[in-house]
A and B are shown apart, each in its own frame.
Chain A
Amino acid sequence: MVRTPVTVIGGFLGAGKTTLLNHLLRHTDQRLAVLVNDFGEINIDAELIASHDGNTVNLSNGCICCSIGDSLVEALIGVMQQAERPEHIVIEASGVADPARIAELATLDASLELNAVVVLTDAPRLPDLVRDKYVGDVVEQQLQSADLIIMNKIDRLSAIDRRDATEVLLRLAPDARVIEAVNASVPGELVLDAGRDLDALATAPPSSGTGSCCHGPDCNDPDHHHDHHGHDHDRRHANLFATCTLSADKPVPRAALARFLDGLPKDVLRLKGLVLTDENPSRPMLLQMVGRRWTLDADHRLDVAPKTRLVAIAVAAEFDAANLQRGFAALQ
């Protein structure tokens, strides 16, 4: 059975979940089904809307956007029963929800598979929020549930405040992968499955900012200050991420692979590709890693040559690609 990946987008009120969902909806090459708490906030461009019927908006790019309303469970099942099943389901968690609880739903159905729990955080407010007497524990739990944390609004931080926010994250979620972002703008490939073309990651690395980073001059996202940040933020992307490919000639022992993945340095944010393991040296498995979560799928339908080829995306700053490649090659 082909499983539909599910990504849960969490984060406290005001962290930028809606902005991120807007990015994903506008710049995806997949048929996404996005489940949102409130249509009113998502603000989809009128020209993108193909039709609107009750709780569902159909977009001209094939995506659908559904209002969760009173029952996430019913909205999710509704999406699963669509005539044309979406390629990826994205669920917006409410601002006070623990996204890991919502991610539970993806484990209940054999036709679903959890891709990742992505949690946004409003970096300037983070140190105050985790100390808040009412919601400190909620924010803390959300961060601990994350496979990938998007530290949003870093353009509004001074150097000192930035250090404080980073310290909070290191203390509360020491294992999580963290991306810094402005206007919740992160390359879609980092969050969702990059889609049909396995090589897309390598040939069009996110550092080129293909579409995912910025809306261009027609952008009417109220949270998007092109005048002030546009150029800055393109440049930031260009310098932020690095990619590298990992390959191996011989099958990799599965146990050693698992240890390698669990022990990856924190600056490796994303890994995707095919890997031949000792369990079936003639047919590669599909490896997906988003943040700290990875899955190996032997049942994929891809028609591929029996070889190992993985693409990694990492935070550029201190990334040592050669070291990673050596470590992977040593697994054989």
Chain B
Amino acid sequence: MLDETVIYKARKIITMNPDRPVATHVAVRGGRILGVGSLDDLRGWSKRDVDMTLADKVLMPGMVEGHSHAFEGLVWDHTYVGSYERRDPDGKAWPGVGTIEALIARLKEAEARLGSPDQTLTGWGFDPLFVERRLTAADLDRVSTTRPVVVQHASGHIINANSLVMEKAGITPSTNSEFILRDSEGRLTGEFAGQVGRFMLAKAIGGTGLADLGDRPDAVRRFAKAAQMTGVTTATDLHNDLSEKTVETFRSVTAEDDFPIRLVPAFRGTHTREDAVAYIGSLQRYNSSKLRFGLVKLIADGSIQGFTARLRWPGYFNGSKNGLWYIAPDELKGLVKRYHEAGLQVHIHTNGDEATEAALDAIEHVLADVPRRDHRHTLQHCQMASAAQFRRMAALGVCVNLFANHIYYWGDAHLAHTMGPDRADRLDACATALATGVPFAMHSDAPVTPIGPLFTAWCAVNRKTLSGRVLGAEQRISVMDALRAMTLGAAYTLKMDADIGSIEVGKFADFAVLEDDPTEVNPEALKDVRVWGTVVGGRIFPAPRT
């Protein structure tokens, strides 16, 4: 059936192809686009009846999520207790919890559904800033005293535990560590930071409580669904060991006809296997239209809100000492060189501007040794880059994928605590990327923030924070520029722009199918544009209705 020619009529087609920016019809054959235009333009390909399934919809190129994690499919094993509404991959909306009571109620409900009596109950996405007081072990003891109860904070650095977990881990009031949080009277609150929290969990419940993606094809499908229902047709899993087991799971799941996205995993470049380059080469033999190996991911520093990103002078606004290198700058040079020489594309996580500088130094150094055109090495997050750093990116042929969702979720915190007004104004500087000609994309880093390209675009267009203020008005970009970043822009950073990112002859027939026209709605309502579903390789995937 896919080999037949189908002409779809749409209310409007936004193509991202400057030769024909808008159209009403698209012809598809064998999963690829045959032509775009008016019905007359396409009649040369087929005389058959026009397919009217999408006749009242607006089509865009399928959205490309250039930085997400398939781990999104695993977090829904556990109970969401974040501060804002979030939809699970079945389309069910989970309202934010705003009080400790609401959190306890949510966990109690989940507790009642758990099977075996000693299974750990885990809540995730908790943000202590949005409840009236600190969450304590006594609160979680109300959920259960007989099974371990753990709440992971959205920051990723802190956990809360009930008394049973502390007891099992051997934590007592006399255990002395600055990472065990205490109240003003010095009592344990049941909050634990960093590796101390991980140590406690490992002792109490034998690990983090999270499954291995390689064992969980259902979680990979769930991730794909979470992406698909927001209009995404290609998504990255941007940091993965790619063990044989995971590779096998990715291969079998993406081979399923109804798997609704193209999956682009990135290999963890600091993997200790000595044959890393050869291993990636062996994986590339498995590449298909739905699965593409070849990206390498490196992580240079930590996170800004966790005060572990590496910042240049003047450092953190609240005086915190500088963050952590995950890879020393000299080592980064060696790693970039290893993959660059092999012709691979490297995506480097740099949150702080000092990490960005080190990554640019590394790329510049490697390019001087081994010149290579069109490498498209990409800086991921790159949230604090200055205009001068963007000019260096342009000169070096480096792309950037900016974390626009941060403006909304953490913009207020960046202004008040992490970087202060000057640098918060240029947080995720999309306008500078445009002005300097650096090819750019924008992302959600799901599950860190919810996947949703229209929301991400809305963040870049409006730059509104959670509190409602505009952060850095000069960095706002137009709706069209934002939508291009979420499609062709992201495709370019993955070196997939020949196949995806625009509705154009020869490319995959990947569409985001919308109820509303994002270029006609009020820009402030961009995030509310309704997604009907997607088309991937000519196959229609309606989103779950709620």
Contact = CB atoms under 8 A, between A and B. Distances in A.
B195 A138 contact: no
A327 interface: no
A141 to B, nearest CB: 8
A96 B324 contact: yes
B196 to A, nearest CB: 6
B272 interface: yes
A142 to B, nearest CB: 12
B328 A95 contact: yes
Contact of B196 (A38, A96, A108): A108
Interface string B156-168: 0000000000000
Contact of B202 (A12, A38, A73): A73
A83 interface: no
A101 B326 CA distance: 14
A72 B179 CA distance: 16
A73 B199 contact: yes
A282 to B, nearest CB: 27
A114 to B, nearest CB: 11
Contacts of B371: none
Interface string A103-123: 011011110000000000000
A66 to B, nearest CB: 13
Contacts of B195: 72-73, 101, 104-105
Given A108-B196, A108-B200, A74 B329 contact: no
Nearest to A72: B195
A69 B272 contact: yes
Interface string B325-354: 111111100000000000000000000001
Contact of A77 (B178, B196, B203): B203
A82 interface: no
Interface in B291-350: 310, 321-322, 324-331
B272 A134 contact: no
Interface string A81-106: 00000000000000111000100110
Nearest to B330: A13
Interface in B407-428: none
Contact of B170 (A38, A95, A109): A109
A134 B196 contact: no
Nearest to B178: A104
A40 B273 CA distance: 9
A104 B198 contact: no
A145 interface: no
Contact of B177 (A67, A96, A108, A135): A108
Nearest to B192: A108
A74 B207 contact: yes
A71 interface: yes
Contacts of B274: 40
A178 B493 CA distance: 50
B116 interface: no
B330 A138 contact: no
A72 B177 CA distance: 17
Interface residues of B, number: 32
B358 interface: yes
A249 interface: no
A96 B170 contact: no
Interface in B67-100: none
Interface in A26-83: 38-40, 67, 69-74, 76-77
A224 B104 CA distance: 61
B198 A73 contact: yes
Contacts of A72: 195
B170 A77 contact: no
Given A74-B207, A110-B170, A134 B358 contact: yes
A105 B178 CA distance: 11
B272 A135 contact: no
Given A95-B328, A134-B329, A74 B177 contact: no
A74 B210 CA distance: 14
Contacts of A105: 195-196, 199
B175 interface: yes
B171 interface: yes
B176 interface: yes
Given A104-B177, A105-B195, A107-B177, A96 B322 contact: no
A137 B322 contact: yes
Given A40-B272, A73-B195, A104 B179 contact: yes
A95 B329 CA distance: 11
A98 to B, nearest CB: 8
A74 B208 CA distance: 10
B507 to A, nearest CB: 38
Contacts of A13: 328, 330-331
Contacts of A138: 325, 328
Contacts of A96: 324-328
A8 to B, nearest CB: 13
Contacts of A40: 272, 274
A40 B270 CA distance: 13
Interface string A127-141: 000000011011000
Nearest to B268: A70
Nearest to A80: B203
Interface string A261-291: 0000000000000000000000000000000
B67 to A, nearest CB: 20
Chain B CB within 10 A, most for which of A39, A95, A108, A138? A108
A124 to B, nearest CB: 16
Contact of B354 (A12, A70, A77, A134): A134
Nearest to A132: B329
Contact of A135 (B170, B194, B202, B325): B325
A75 B328 CA distance: 23
Contacts of A38: 272
A12 B330 CA distance: 11
A321 to B, nearest CB: 35
B402 to A, nearest CB: 23
Contacts of B203: 77, 109
Given A12-B328, A72-B195, 16 more contacts: A13-B331, A40-B272, A74-B202, A96-B325, A96-B326, A96-B327, A96-B328, A104-B178, A104-B195, A104-B196, A105-B195, A105-B196, A107-B176, A108-B177, A134-B310, A134-B328
22 contacts: A12-B328, A13-B331, A71-B198, A71-B202, A73-B195, A74-B207, A96-B325, A96-B326, A96-B328, A105-B195, A107-B176, A108-B175, A108-B177, A108-B200, A110-B170, A134-B325, A134-B328, A134-B358, A135-B328, A135-B329, A137-B322, A138-B325
Q: Which 7 A-B pairs have the closest CB atoms?
A: A96-B325, A134-B329, A73-B199, A73-B198, A96-B328, A77-B202, A73-B202
